[in-house]
């Protein structure tokens, strides 16, 4: 059985920090912002802004952010991405 390594999703708490500031903070820390790629191709130093959810960042599988200052401050919320499907 092959296990799929899902990306790490991080919601930016816009009550604490806006999305542009979060992206700038990460880039200043040395992270590389990737655009228009398959999220499964992210490497450990990469991140991307989700294509569909406004305040969601995507990191490579296994990225540990539990000790990151923005997580400890409440500006980052670690979560899974939930896809909602509606039938009309």
Q: Which two tokens stand for residue 29?
A: 């820390």
Give the tens place of pLDDT for each residue, 38-81: 888 899 999 999 988 889 999 999 899 999 999 999 999 998 87
Nearest alpha-carbon partner for 63 in 38, 42, 49, 82: 42
Q: Which two tokens stand for residue 21?
A: 């500031």
pLDDT for res 17: 97
pTM of the prediction?
Answer: 0.86
Domain with residues 8-79, CATH architecture:
2-Layer Sandwich (3.30)
Is the torsion defined by CA of 44, 45, 51, 57 positive or negative? Answer: positive
Residue with tokens 């999220």: 39
Cβ-contact 54, 19 below 8 angstroms: yes
């Amino acid at each position: 059985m092959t296990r799929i390594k899902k990306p790490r999703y991080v919601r930016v708490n816009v009550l604490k920090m806006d999305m542009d500031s979060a992206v700038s903070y990460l880039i200043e820390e040395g992270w590389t912002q990737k655009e228009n790629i398959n999220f499964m191709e992210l490497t450990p130093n990469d991140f991307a802004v989700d294509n569909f959810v406004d305040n969601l960042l995507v990191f490579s599988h296994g990225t540990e952010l539990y000790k990151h200052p923005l997580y400890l401050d409440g500006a980052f919320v670690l979560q899974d991405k939930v896809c909602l499907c509606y039938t009309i």
